[in-house]
Chain A
């Protein structure tokens, strides 16, 4: 008897817990998600991202033209709400250079409404993930609001462009909170919108107001308001902001989207050599170096040189050299780094460090070059970006690799044989940054 009571009590407790979990699962909610934030924070502004149009995409349930994991910034949506919710997407549609606000790249935003019917048994169900473009009707209602504006370019108003869309109230069983679908089955119901960034092909006019830089920034704000303020466990209005960054560099190759930026420090033109030598580190910061790849694709044959089974191996190899040729010819003696005034030479090395690992020389985040490296040299030294690869699996099961690397570059006299006495004079040296893709 005692054992039965224990079993019954345990069963009751477990049931209550499950019910509690189910209740939490079915709680009305509103969400915003920033897709693949590491990758999306940096967008190649030379890219061409599809711009949905009324003629092609209106009322189409084929997402082929408009949807791509590459240009999806994120999504917002709601579930189990029994009242209308108005979502508003707003942007001025410009990536603006922070260093030169006269430089910009226009972009547009499109939103793709989607609905989802799930069976309650998530593990075993076949998820019926329906995807609709623009004004597509769905069972039980019609997405309204953005019907006549497939993207922010087609929205009037300046400078801010706004798209609005209304998530309709969902009829739910007041007790179970299950949505009853047309098939008579109980379903859980969600509504959401993918936020797509659209970049039309660059024109001659665009190029007039673009500079090579990686300091472009833009924002897209999504706000929402409940209509009627029915059952909702959150506040009845709110907002979310996508903070975007972009870079532009010409002739980088549109498919691979691989770009390097070197930003010299002011002190690189003003090295007080004697003062640096007197420091404990004998170092001075001379530049910031950045490497971006945003759409490098792997494990497919689209960019065949990146195929292979070693999915963590990075085959983008940056290095720094004293040689003006990246692939030194056989038989030529490579130069090494040395500041010279034409008579006296002061040898040095160049160090690259991850700014998050500046204390000490942490393996994997620290590289040192003597200037003699060139492509084809045995044991060529290069910056191994293994730790800077972000592997992304998108919804369509495609695998991408992205690199976002920022390194601080230093001149270092440590361990070098410095001429003594040190001759007065102006000293200079050219150093070369290369990035090789194999």
Chain B
């Protein structure tokens, strides 16, 4: 019996000695994209922020030096990834040509109530960083589209981002493009309250 145990032990040791280890030495991934009939698919999703009090939303108090938003003031020339707050993701897949994605946004508008009818708004800059080939990246910016109902704001419909989806043939794909937010130099926040902005994504034909 003892001999058998010893033999088993030896076998066990031998089996350990000859155990084959394996390593994953290299890997790659590839996304396949295809289409059945011409199509365009556009999806956008929020990235949600909470302040220190666990309140939903972005703290816009730029006078608070501890608030990182105070550092998120344009100029536009500064790369978005260094001074923008990523607030959303945009993905577009298109198998048709001569279309474009159009992004617009309203100013941040103070929400009123029957008890507090004070109106206020904050202009801000929205940006997007995207790539259609995975190599070359583009950055586009725009201020708020002006709302004619807001005081002292002349209309300016040119304030929008346009991303062309035209290639010679085939599928154009933008995967998880970052949507960035930052305040402008001329947009001090002076009236406390809750502010809301709508960002609109649409696909339009290039005429």
The number of residue pairs between A and B whose CB atoms lie closer than 8 Å in the complex comes to 125
The minimal Cβ–Cβ distance linking A351 to chain B, given in whole angstroms, is: 13
B35 at the interface (CB under 8 A from A): yes
Contact of B33 among A271, A276, A305 (CB under 8 A): A271
Using A266-B170, A375-B22 as known contacts, say yes or no to A434 and B32 having CB atoms under 8 A apart: no
* Chain B nearest CB, measured from A78 CB (Å): 44
Q: Is the CB of B37 within 8 A of A274?
A: yes
Q: Look across to chain B and name the residue whose beta carbon is closest to the beta carbon of A437.
A: B25
Cα-based distance from A238 to B23 in the complex (angstroms): 49
The answer to whether A270 touches B33, judged by C-beta atoms less than 8 angstroms apart, is yes
The reply to whether the CB of A335 lies closer than 8 angstroms to some CB of chain B is no
Chain A 257-287, CB-CB to B under 8 Å as 1, else 0, gives 0111110101111111110100000000011
Given contact pairs A430-B29, A432-B27, A433-B27, A339 touches B34 in the complex (Cβ within 8 A): yes
Measured in the bound complex, the distance between the Cα atoms of B65 and A258 in whole Å is: 51
- Counting contact residues on chain B (CB < 8 A from A), the size range is 20 to 34
Q: How many residues of A contact B (CB 8 A)?
A: 47
Q: Check B26 against A339 for contact (C-beta < 8 Å).
A: no
Q: How far is the CA of A287 from the CA of B30 in the complex (A)?
A: 9
- Does chain A have a CB within 8 A of B4? no
Q: Which stretch (A111-119, A164-172, A353-361, A420-428) binds chain B?
A: A420-428
| With contact pairs A426-B171, A430-B30 given, residues A274 and B36 touching in the complex (Cβ less than 8 Å) | yes
Do A326 and B169 touch across chains, with their CB atoms under 8 A apart? no
* B residues less than 8 Å from A253 (CB atoms): 25
B32 touches A271 (CB 8 A): yes
18 contacts between A and B (CB under 8 A): A252-B25, A258-B25, A267-B170, A268-B33, A269-B31, A270-B170, A273-B36, A276-B34, A324-B29, A423-B36, A425-B41, A428-B31, A430-B29, A431-B32, A435-B24, A436-B24, A438-B20, A438-B23
Q: 9 closest Cβ contacts across the A-B interface?
A: A271-B34, A270-B170, A424-B37, A262-B28, A438-B22, A260-B26, A426-B93, A437-B25, A433-B28
Chain B residues within CB distance 8 Å of chain A: 20-37, 39-41, 93-95, 169-171, 173
